[in-house]
Amino acid sequence: VNVLVLNPGSSSLKSGFYRFPDEVPLVIAATQSSKAPTASDLIRAISGTAIDAVGVRVVHGGSRFENPAVVDDSVLAAIRELAELAPLHNPLAVGVIEEVRRELPETPIVAVFDTAFHQTLPPIAATYAVPPELGVRRYGFHGLSYSYVSKRLRALGAGPRLIVAHLGNGASVCAIRDGQSVDTSMGFTPMEGLVMGTRAGDLDPGVILYLLRKGRSEADLDDLLNHRSGLRGVSETSGDVRELEIAAAGDPKAELALDLFAYRVSKYVAAYCVALGGVDALAFTAGIGEHSAAVRRRICDRLSFLGVAVDAAANEAPRNDERRIGAGSIAVWVIPTNEEVEIGRAAFAAARPR
């Protein structure tokens, strides 16, 4: 069974093509266009090989989607409605799904949700302390990445209590027990929790009330908190860790931004030791987690009192594979994530005739 995977993000469309059940990556021929390829470009580039199913990542599945869903009109309408909760993300998936339906009208499309992995959150982790009639709760995101990384850690024998830090442009931390999410730092939307590239993360809700009273519009606050905050807001130069690391030595604002980023991560890791009653392994993944030895060191240094001890040579070795970088009582790993293969697995399982 050949599964095409489409993972639309805010800056680009990532893709993969796999043969299941053996998960062999298949080659997509280079597309003709000079711009970043669209879903249609990719489908045309594959035209020589059968596409038996298409998996599309959808960020917000709300309370309705606890599992991958084969797309029909009602599923598509529900994903569209959930754009209310993820206005930056869900419309991208809707656009991709519509494109695939036009190009491959007979092929099953499976929507795979970033929120689904967190359906196991216990009420104490899912609840905000507000009246239930508001209908707001914590959902959590980056579920495909956490699902992939926790399976890898299980295969590596890392133990039952895991804390995974998915540190990319969007960033979150997840506490995982026996393969199940028990707490995570993003909540109702992907804005809660860590300092991100351009998102503020945790913020006193009083700040928002204050800015509203000062006459800021909803659109302005949306842009401020999603696009002009986080590393970019604090540094006043860039939301990109690589650029900040180059600037940090001579730029106190870049230095503060990186330190604040790491400080927030380390506080969440310590908090999730409470959620798990201790921890067996800490793992880093995504762009920053996989590639920035300096950010990993900043985070782990603050956690040394817990028994986190990073081996400097292992941490700094220029490698891109799975590796253990900690020699302390809590194992520290770098695990490159692979959301695409995880989407493919889910699409293969959901599209398979029963």
Which of the residues are catalytic? 114
Give the HSE-up count for residue 265: Cα atoms under 13 Å, Cβ half-sphere: 32
Instruction: Name the amino acid, one letter, at 157.
Output: G
Using the CB atoms, write b or e for 251-286: b if 16+ within 10 Å. Answer: eeebbbbbebbbebbbbbbbebbebbeebbbbbbbb
The count of residues interacting with ligand AMP (CB under 6 A) is: 12
Q: Kindly identify the residues of this chain, within the stretch 203-262, that bind ligand AMP according to CB under 6 A.
A: 240-242, 245
**Of positions 111, 292, 302, 340, contacts ligand AMP by CB under 6 A:** 292
Site membership for ligand AMP, residue 172 (CB under 6 A): no
Query: Which CB, 242 or 352, lies closer to ligand AMP?
Result: 242
Instruction: Give the binding range for ligand AMP (CB under 6 A) out of 257-265, 280-288, 297-305, 328-336.
Output: 280-288
Q: How far apart are CA 315 and CA 332, in angstroms?
A: 10
Contacts of 214 (CB under 8 A, 6+ apart): none
Site membership for ligand AMP, residue 57 (CB under 6 A): no
Contacts of 18 (CB under 8 A, 6+ apart): 2, 3, 5, 24, 25, 26, 340, 341, 344
**Of positions 152, 291, 296, 345, contacts ligand AMP by CB under 6 A:** 291
Site membership for ligand AMP, residue 168 (CB under 6 A): yes
Please report the DSSP string for 128-177 in residue order.
Answer: -SS-GGG--------HHHHHHHHHHHHHTT--SEEEEEEESSSEEEEEEE
Nearest distance in Å: CB 295, ligand AMP: 7
Query: Which CB, 195 or 332, lies closer to ligand AMP?
Result: 195
Nearest distance in Å: CB 177, ligand AMP: 25
Please tell me whether the peptide bond between 336 and the residue prior to it is cis, using omega within 30 degrees of 0. no
Nearest distance in Å: CB 107, ligand AMP: 29
Site membership for ligand AMP, residue 8 (CB under 6 A): no
- The torsion angles phi and psi of 99, rounded to 5 degrees, stand at -65, -45
Nearest distance in Å: CB 288, ligand AMP: 4
Nearest distance in Å: CB 11, ligand AMP: 8
Contacts of 282 (CB under 8 A, 6+ apart): 162, 163, 164, 165, 269, 300, 303, 308, 326, 330, 331, 332, 333
Query: Which CB, 162 or 241, lies closer to ligand AMP?
Result: 241
Q: Kindly identify the residues of this chain, within the stretch 178-207, that bind ligand AMP according to CB under 6 A.
A: 197
Query: Which CB, 98 or 259, lies closer to ligand AMP?
Result: 259
Query: Which CB, 192 or 290, lies closer to ligand AMP?
Result: 290
Residue with smallest beta-carbon separation from ligand AMP:
287
Binding site for ligand AMP (CB under 6 A): 168-169, 197, 240-242, 245, 286-288, 291-292
